[in-house]
Amino acid sequence: MTRTDNDTWDLASSVGATATAVAASRAAASQGPDALLADPWADPLVRAVGIEHFVKLLDGDDDGRLAAEDDPLLNRRAMNEQITVRTRYFDDFFMHASRDGVRQVVILASGLDTRAYRLPWLRDTTVYEVDQPAVIAFKTDTLAGLGAEPTAQLRTVSVDLRDDWPTALRAAGFDSSAPTAWSAEGLLVYLPPEAQDRLFDDITALSAPGSRLATEHMDMASLPADWADKLTQRSKRIGSDINLAELFYLGERNSAADYLTARGWHVDVRRTDQAFAANGFELPDDELAAFGGDSGYLTGTLN
């Protein structure tokens, strides 16, 4: 279903289903004796959502569609390595910030993120998870039923990022005078260009000096014009019903690096190929693998 300004979703529909897809990828990469990740909560969360394609993926029920072994981007090994690179980048970001004394964390569009439950946070760390009410309620209730306990002080903020989320965040106890580690993982392409700018403006306004931000850096100009359609069609080969071309907001947008730099952030970008190499992997030889030639992962620190 094509996006609208006031659309809503749960974890089995629209943008919410992409959060389940990411959790399924983490769960798959956490399987077996040679697992690349260690996320014990991803698997039961995905099963609780109940999307058949992702449950089959976790069960290894390959009917010829679930793993396109001839596809350089969508074979099992490539998918496991891709999610490992992404997950480790944001894990390391938070752990480095924690080591350096940052005790306030905000995970925007938290979806089925489990970092508040699985990372070894230092004492007195508060993690705020921000997402739509239905998403927050489902994950909170499911993890409680599994006996999962947060490893930090967890405060959930049930609000749509298109609404006045800064006010809701403050109401949950957020302290704008303290340095914060922010993440906007897998979020930007689902925002209209002007909403991406507004998100960065809000983060900047809420951030004390020394705050940090991690997100993706997208070089959209170097992608083929029909890249979203191509990715959707290839995903359908492995049984996915998610139409990414309808969920992404395409067109020109400000570079995250340039926009944040102009607002006082010191920015470092690790290109996708560099991130793969840092983990001992080789980036797949595919036009869609890197999200654009100079795309990758961005960390910023507010001066």
Q: Give the pLDDT band of residue 110 (cuts 50, 70, 90).
A: very high
Which pLDDT score, from 0 to 100, does residue 64 have? 42
Q: Is-contact 266 301, C-beta < 8 A?
A: yes
Closest CA to 95 of 139, 129, 130, 125: 125
Asked whether the predicted pLDDT for residue 230 surpasses 70, the reply is yes
- What's the pLDDT tens digit per position in 192-204? 999 999 999 999 9
> CATH homologous superfamily of domain 14-302?
Vaccinia Virus protein VP39 (3.40.50.150)
What is this structure's pTM?
0.92
Closest CA to 253 of 275, 290, 223, 230: 223
Closest CA to 256 of 291, 206, 208: 291
> pLDDT higher for 173 or 222?
173
- Going from N- to C-terminal start, the domains of the chain cover 14-302
Length of the chain as a residue count: 303
